[in-house]
């Protein structure tokens, strides 16, 4: 038996337990995935079959009353533009720390 260098599978779940100081929102610019050969599979537009579903819970700030059409949605995490300050390539969601740690 040989341990794989990279995780494999079809489901990747990322739990975010705290922010970097913001009490109300949490967000990311991007996530990179690599195949077993070390090739980056990040660009969702070119690898749609590999990443058919991307979602967050909560999904985005669009779930808040009075907010509609905000571009910072989970699909932006895999658009390949990670080093940016452009909102068109980010995910942002409301954050409430309701988790009790054991």
What number of other Cβ atoms are within 10 A of residue 90's Cβ?
20
Residue 76 belongs to some domain of the structure? yes
pLDDT at residue 54, rounded to an integer: 76
The residue segments making up the domain with residue 52 are: 1-6+24-95
Residue 19 belongs to some domain of the structure? no
Read off the pLDDT of residues 44-75 as tens digits, 9 standing for 90 and up. 556 556 555 677 788 899 999 999 999 999 88
Q: Which range scores top for mean pLDDT: 5-9, 38-42, 47-51, 66-70?
A: 66-70
pLDDT at residue 96, rounded to an integer: 79
How many domains would you assign to the chain?
1
Residue 23 reports pLDDT greater than 50: yes
Residue 62 belongs to some domain of the structure? yes
Residue 48 belongs to some domain of the structure? yes
pLDDT at residue 9, rounded to an integer: 64
Residue 69 belongs to some domain of the structure? yes
Tell me the backbone φ, ψ of residue 85, rounded to 5 degrees.
-115, 10
Average pLDDT, the chain: 80
pLDDT at residue 1, rounded to an integer: 61
CA 87 to chain centre: 14
């Amino acid at each position: 038996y040989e341990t794989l260098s990279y995780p494999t599978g079809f489901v990747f779940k990322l739990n975010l337990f705290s922010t970097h100081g913001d009490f109300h929102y949490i967000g990311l610019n991007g996530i990179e995935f690599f195949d077993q050969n070390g090739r980056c599979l990040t660009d969702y537009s070119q690898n749609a079959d590999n990443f058919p579903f991307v979602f967050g819970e909560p999904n985005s700030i669009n779930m808040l009353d009075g907010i509609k059409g905000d571009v910072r949605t989970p699909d932006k995490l895999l658009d390949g533009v990670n080093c940016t300050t452009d909102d068109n390539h980010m995910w942002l969601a409301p954050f409430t720390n309701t988790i009790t740690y054991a």
